[in-house]
Amino acid sequence: MKLNQIGEFKLIEKLVSLLPIDDKDVVVGFGDDCACINVNGKLLLFTNDIQVENRHFIKELQKPENIGWKLISVNVSDVLACGGIPRWAQISLGLPKNLEYSFIEEVYIGIKKALDYYGFYITGGNVSSSNEIILDLFLVGETEKFLSRKDAQEGDYIYINGFTGLARAGLELLLMEKKEYEDFEKELIQAFTKPTVDLSLKSLLQKNAKACIDISDGLVADLGHISKQSDKKIVLFKEKLPVNTNLKKYCEKYSKDIYDYILYGGEDYIIAFSCDKELKHKNIYKIGKVEQGKGIYLKEDKKITKLKVKGFEHL
Ligand code: MG
Ligand code: MG
């Protein structure tokens, strides 16, 4: 059987079943944003995420510096999603033999800027030749309390700390390869090419969050993980979903359905979490509620619609 007949999520399930874990120091193994390891009472978070040429980035269309920045951000996002901060990383490179040195040097300048911004170090790595550019990071973080996807309770509210849908619009704009972009289009492209994770959210999450995840595959797809792993239903309030003005302009200009972007656009690298308190913080949006049941629903006035939980599949 070929991998594309199995699909990404089924493949992961099959592979995970081949590697059972029998180690009491592994607090959480497969199935969350990070694994959590208890090292003499300290909780470490392990995560890895890859950037592959023509899958995650297009060399000809993106600044190499931003490709390096994004490699770091996507991993930091998973650590924050488990309530932690990043500490140490290792990097693996797959590089074509005929690649210009200046390209990978620029990527590293972006990596260095991101490491300085988030405050941690890369401590080692390795290189191999390959047909496409592959950048893979293994990141270790630390946390006082592990925030998982499975702890949403009936009655919790769902919060997010930013807009969704921008990165997908940014990618579409990038692929148009226009000679001139309007300013609002440049900002949307930046959301895709240079996502920035807000680590200042960590203390609020540690104090208040129950279930937590980062939005990488799309709001509904990622809330789908919380819903499934917590065995709860999530109801989103349509009028509470934050609408970004640049995204609004984009959807008007190109005749797109903005809620398709807000609900299903991926690569936002913001955090969604559940919490039983009323939170009044800047840039924190209460967008839904956790109830008894299954699946993700959208409530508009009195009408409730069941949403299809679909996200990006790599295979
Ligand atoms: Mg994640
Ligand atoms: Mg990830």
Q: Tell whether 110 is covered by a domain.
A: yes
Tell me: pLDDT of 278 over 90: yes
Q: Which ligand is nearest to the CA of 71?
A: 2
- Amino acid 135 reads L
Backbone angles phi, psi at 92, to 5 degrees: -120, 135
**Domain identity same for 161 and 66:** no
Q: Hey, what are 289's tokens?
A: 């509620």
Contacts of 124 (CB under 8 A, 6+ apart): 90, 91
Q: Tell whether 312 is covered by a domain.
A: no
Tell me: pLDDT of 219 over 90: yes
**Domain identity same for 139 and 105:** yes
**Domain identity same for 199 and 118:** no
- Amino acid 229 reads Q
**From ligand 1's centre to the CA of 263, what distance in Å?**
16
**From ligand 1's centre to the CA of 218, what distance in Å?**
11
Per DSSP, which regions of 220-295 are E strands? 233-237, 271-275, 285-291
Q: How much is the average pLDDT of 130-134?
A: 98
> Could you list which residues have their CB under 5 Å from ion ligand 2?
49, 78
Tell me: pLDDT of 109 over 80: yes
Q: Could you tell me if 110 and 68 are in contact, meaning their C-beta atoms sit under 8 angstroms apart?
A: yes
Q: Tell whether 314 is covered by a domain.
A: no
**Domain identity same for 30 and 133:** yes
CATH number at residue 269: 3.90.650.10
**Domain identity same for 105 and 15:** yes
Q: Hey, what are 192's tokens?
A: 């895709």
Q: Tell whether 260 is covered by a domain.
A: yes
**From ligand 1's centre to the CA of 288, what distance in Å?**
20
Domain count, the chain: 2
Q: What's the pTM?
A: 0.96
Domain end point (choices 118, 143, 168) = 143
**From ligand 2's centre to the CA of 267, what distance in Å?**
9
**Domain identity same for 165 and 119:** no
Q: How much is the average pLDDT of 77-92?
A: 98
Each residue's pLDDT tens digit, 44-55: 999 999 999 999
CATH number at residue 102: 3.30.1330.10
Domain end point (choices 87, 120, 143) = 143
Q: Tell whether 13 is covered by a domain.
A: yes
Tell me: pLDDT of 72 over 90: yes
**Domain identity same for 222 and 277:** yes
Residues 307, 265: Cα–Cα separation, whole Å? 14
Q: Which domain holds residue 192?
A: 157-307
**From ligand 2's centre to the CA of 215, what distance in Å?**
9
Q: Tell whether 10 is covered by a domain.
A: yes
Residues 296, 213: Cα–Cα separation, whole Å? 15
**Domain identity same for 303 and 213:** yes
Domain end point (choices 143, 170, 199) = 143
**Domain identity same for 167 and 206:** yes
Q: Which ligand is nearest to the CA of 272?
A: 1
Angstrom CA distances, 315 to 216, 245, 273, stand at 16, 33, 28
Tell me: pLDDT of 240 over 90: yes
**Domain identity same for 139 and 37:** yes
Q: CA angle 161-163-166, nearest 5°?
A: 145
Q: Tell whether 150 is covered by a domain.
A: no
Res 314: pLDDT: 72
Contacts of 116 (CB under 8 A, 6+ apart): none
Res 310: pLDDT: 81
> Could you list which residues have their CB under 5 Å from ion ligand 1?
33, 78, 214, 216
**From ligand 2's centre to the CA of 251, what distance in Å?**
27
**From ligand 2's centre to the CA of 129, what distance in Å?**
24
Contacts of 218 (CB under 8 A, 6+ apart): 164, 263, 264, 265, 266, 310, 311, 312
Q: Could you tell me if 216 and 266 are in contact, meaning their C-beta atoms sit under 8 angstroms apart?
A: yes
Closest by Cα among 74, 193, 57 to 133: 57
Q: Tell whether 94 is covered by a domain.
A: yes
Q: What is the mean pLDDT of the chain?
A: 96
**Domain identity same for 103 and 173:** no
Q: How much is the average pLDDT of 83-91?
A: 98
Residues 71, 195: Cα–Cα separation, whole Å? 10
**Domain identity same for 67 and 169:** no
